[in-house]
């Protein structure tokens, strides 16, 4: 299954093909172009356009590139890749390092430092687990106690934590739980 991290990489590569793109045209190019990127398939076998992300969802991903400072918005609903976005495509390591840096910058602009994340994780005790939602609540609470303001919302924070984990900026532990179906 493809991730937002993979989709960012693919979108940047498509974006790099031209000096600038109309945002909707680029989203449609990703969704409807040939070959269709497998990373944008969300269901089915890929034989139908309905198997792929909607243009509106791809547009949101493209605006995320701007928020991460990997691309820049231009007048008339256009977008272009910037130096950071272009340079990070040199290798997987360059890409991971740039994503970490971009996420760190976005969090900083939203009032969250990496040390705030560390402190929130250290403060988490059972039965709570240091998932993105719990960390976010603790970061916001700690910020309020110290007179700081967090301007990033929980959904964006969750996405940033995921990207940071995929880029190896923070460890992400996934546990698998088993149960018996009572209907068997």
Supply the pLDDT for residue 183.
65
Backbone CA torsion sign across 109, 110, 115, 117: negative
Supply the pLDDT for residue 83.
97
pLDDT at 45 over 90: no
Confidence band (pLDDT; 50, 70, 90) for 56?
very high
How does the average pLDDT of the chain come out, rounded? 93
| Omega prior to 127 cis, within 30 of 0 | yes
Cα separations (Å) of 114 from 75, 117, 118?
A: 33, 5, 6
Q: Which residue has the tokens 């909607």?
A: 54
Q: Which residue has the tokens 């993105």?
A: 132
The pTM of this model reads 0.89
End-to-end CA distance of the chain: 29
Question: Quick count: other Cβ atoms within 10 Å of Cβ 42?
Answer: 14
Fold of 4-86: Arc Repressor Mutant, subunit A (1.10.10)
Q: What is the pLDDT of residues 6-31, one digit of tens each?
A: 999 999 999 999 999 999 999 999 99
Q: What is the pLDDT of residues 57-74, one digit of tens each?
A: 999 999 999 999 999 999
Residues of the chain with CATH 1.10.10: 4-86
The CB-side HSE value for 44 (13 A sphere, CA atoms) comes to 10
Supply the pLDDT for residue 184.
54
Q: Are 56 and 84 in contact (CB under 8 A)?
A: no
Supply the pLDDT for residue 44.
83
């Amino acid at each position: 299954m493809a991730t937002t991290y993979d989709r960012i990489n693919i979108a940047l590569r498509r974006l790099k093909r031209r000096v600038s793109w109309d945002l909707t045209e680029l989203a449609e190019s990703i969704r409807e172009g040939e070959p269709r990127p497998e990373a944008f398939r969300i269901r089915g076998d890929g034989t139908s356009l309905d198997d792929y992300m909607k243009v509106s969802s791809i547009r949101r991903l493209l605006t995320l590139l701007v928020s991460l400072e990997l691309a820049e918005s231009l007048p008339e609903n256009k977008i272009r890749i910037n130096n950071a976005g272009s340079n990070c495509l040199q290798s997987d390591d360059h890409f991971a390092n740039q994503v970490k840096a971009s996420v760190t910058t976005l969090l900083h602009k939203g009032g969250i430092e990496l040390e705030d994340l560390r402190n929130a994780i250290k403060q988490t005790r059972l039965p709570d687990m240091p998932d993105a939602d719990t960390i976010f609540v603790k970061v916001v609470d700690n910020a309020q106690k110290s007179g700081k303001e967090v301007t990033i919302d929980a959904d964006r924070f969750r996405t940033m934590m995921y990207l940071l984990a995929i880029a190896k900026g923070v460890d992400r532990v996934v546990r698998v739980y088993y149960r018996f179906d009572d209907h068997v």
